[in-house]
A and B are shown apart, each in its own frame.
Chain A
Amino acid sequence: MTETQNLTLVQAVRDGLHTELREDDDVVVMGQDVGKNGGVFRATEGLFDEFGGDRVIDTPLAESGIVGTAVGMAAMGMRPVPEIQFSGFMYPGFDQIVSHMARFRTRSRGRFTLPMTLRAPYGGGIRAPEHHSESKEAFYAHEAGLKVVIPSTPYEAKGLLAASIRDPDPVIFLEPKLIYRAFREEVPEEPYTVPIGEAATRREGDDVAVFTYGAMTRPTLEAAETLGEEGIECEVVDLRTISPLDREAIVEAFEKTGRAVVVHEAPKTGGLAGEITAILQEEALLYQEAPIGRVTGFDVPYPLYALEDYYLPSAARIEEGILEAVEF
């Protein structure tokens, strides 16, 4: 009988880090406030006490330095897990991410590979100050050489994080902070992985396929339940990894329903919804019975919190988007 704990998503992340630190001496956690303080979201709580300051490292406040030194460490075979405190602060490290983290393997013809996992809480909905709520995952999905993982449940957060840390390639691991503490789930204490690159079907349905990920999975499921009461059955697919995308699962769900809506909180233009739409155009055009809908954040800078409820796709907006696809 496997022992489990009833954990929130952020506790599952912490448990994942704890497990991997225990399993592999080459794993180090590093970043601002990750040590004694246990991280601003408590994602690294207690790890410093157990593993010490050489494994759970408080670094200077310098995002490029954090990512860049992790690149050097990973090139030497360690498995650094740098944390950027908020994804809105990844930009000072962006050059290191795209110029080096993504390219080191290619540039050295595989001699150097970077088994590093860059973690950051991302997304809105927590009434945070400016530059704390962005959802810019498309930047990273656009960059070849990276993998981009976004969990939406505690169980999967632990398993996907373990898979990311063990992956030979660099991973951007974005944690939807809106659901860090929104609910709990039984999470095994033992190590396990959830494979990167595979989507999960959260709800079966024949009428319309709804693709989403991260914090938007919950309002999407809520909308699907409401519509289900009206006899409209949504197949809800949680992508879990946005690079590489699980094209097979996306196409399969669409072929089953002939209709699709993509939901994400990131701005519409250049977002993942456009990519998913293009995949369906390429691979399943003849199944298409309605325009593919996009329910997303607006193409505006993320607002201060007085307006963020209007910015973020709500269950009501998602419902409307789905109805449009169904009623076309």
Chain B
Amino acid sequence: MTVFDRAYDDTVRVLDEDGEVVGDVPDLDDDSLVEMYRHMRLARHFDGRAVSLQRQGRMGTYPPLSGQEGAQIGSAYALAADDWMVPSYREHGAALVHGLPLKQTLLYWMGHEDGNNAPPDVNVFPVAVPIASQVPHATGAAWASKLRGEDDAFICYFGDGATSEGDFHEGVNFAGVFDTPTVFFCNNNQWAISVPRERQTRSATLAQKAEAYGIDGVQVDGMDPLAVYSVTEAALEKARDPEADRPRPTLIEAVQYRFGAHTTADDPTVYRDDDEVERWKRKDPIDRLESYLRGEGVLDEERVAEIESSVETQVADAIDAAESMARPDPRELFEHAYAELPPELERQYEEFAALRDERGDAAFLED
């Protein structure tokens, strides 16, 4: 029996809340497991620093990910380097695993468009802010790969709120109809800003929505990185090379929790109680993997401290690098709107540039 033959509410789990093994541990060597753990620590530390930078006015509005490290790192770790990631706006951890430098993520939230410009060998789409709008993109991109006879797989991330949007349904429906190599990964973090999952749908699970589109749906414990890895790995493998009569696409519902606010502009104490947060914090994906790895003798106090210290350095370096980026030249406003700049845009720029020369940059900038 594959993970895709389970009931939609039969949650896949490898580690319980104490890090005890309750399922099939994926076939990963110790180094990989430690790397996965390190990435989770890195994502958590990055997240804390990012929120702090926002509070200090050194970064714009930022959507925190703490609590979602198991889902993000576990899933992204299953991707092959050539596979494509189509994120929403909260997958900083997943993108990091797939090769997007932290500096890029920082730049984006610091207001530099360049943050969305991944290195050419990093297969990550730009951040998508309108909810669920990236779902059809992932289907279309995967469809292109299939039409061209390539064998890349595509993973698309979105939240529980996105499953209420038309684009979710249209994108997943197309994927079912055209059997595209797409993995739809729902980060069900329980809250779409202030509206709970129960207000998004009367469906008992989000995984079961797959049924409507004739694709596979599976629920996984999103606070369990090893379970997430296993399920995603199986879904990606199936996307590339399905068994006869098995659909390529999969909808994964990763049940998890957003520990913090929706964004730094949001105050979750208005809509949810502390008990709930505390209850979910006991399921912390980092503690869970750490506990397992310590039990296995793969991690010890010294190694954990060393990891934390290296993670701090890595984030500090990325912040330095991002903050030392000069403000982009206003020419960049115009540069990429079209492949070739239309004459009117050239004229608008030249008019602005002349004024800037005359009045100086300070005339345009806030302090």
Contact = CB atoms under 8 A, between A and B. Distances in A.
B148 to A, nearest CB: 8
B298 interface: no
Contacts of B340: 168
Interface stretch (A64-72, A153-161, A218-226, A318-326): A64-72
Interface stretch (B112-120, B245-253, B302-310, B318-326): B112-120
B339 interface: yes
B126 A105 contact: no
Contacts of A67: 136
Interface in A38-93: 54, 59-60, 62, 64-65, 67-78, 80, 92
B170 interface: yes
Nearest to A71: B137
A99 B133 contact: yes
A213 B166 CA distance: 35
B136 A64 contact: yes
A279 B166 CA distance: 39
Interface residues of A, number: 46
Contact of B113 (A68, A109, A248): A109
B77 interface: no
B141 interface: yes
Contacts, number: 137
A236 B142 CA distance: 47
B263 interface: no
A247 B147 CA distance: 41
Given A62-B170, A145-B337, A247-B343, A68 B136 contact: yes
Interface string B336-347: 111110111100
B116 A108 contact: yes
Interface in A92-116: 92, 95-96, 99-100, 104-113
**Interface SS majority for chain B:** helix
Contact of B116 (A92, A100, A107): A107
Nearest to B150: A76
A96 B133 contact: yes
Contacts of B128: 100
Given A92-B166, A109-B114, A69 B336 contact: no
Contact of A111 (B86, B117, B167): B117
Task: Report which residue of A104, A106, A145, A169 has the largest number of chain B beta carbons within 10 angstroms of its beta carbon.
Answer: A106
Interface string B121-140: 00001101110010111111
Contacts of A64: 136, 166-167, 170
Contacts of A111: 117-118, 120
Given A69-B143, A69-B174, A108-B126, A96 B136 contact: yes
Given A60-B174, A75-B137, 12 more contacts: A60-B173, A68-B135, A68-B137, A72-B143, A76-B145, A95-B167, A96-B167, A100-B133, A105-B339, A107-B126, A108-B118, A247-B343
22 contacts: A28-B147, A64-B166, A65-B171, A65-B173, A68-B135, A68-B139, A71-B140, A75-B125, A80-B140, A95-B167, A104-B126, A105-B336, A106-B113, A106-B336, A107-B116, A109-B335, A110-B339, A111-B117, A111-B120, A244-B345, A247-B343, A247-B344
The 5 closest A-B pairs by CB, nearest first: A72-B140, A68-B136, A65-B170, A69-B140, A72-B141
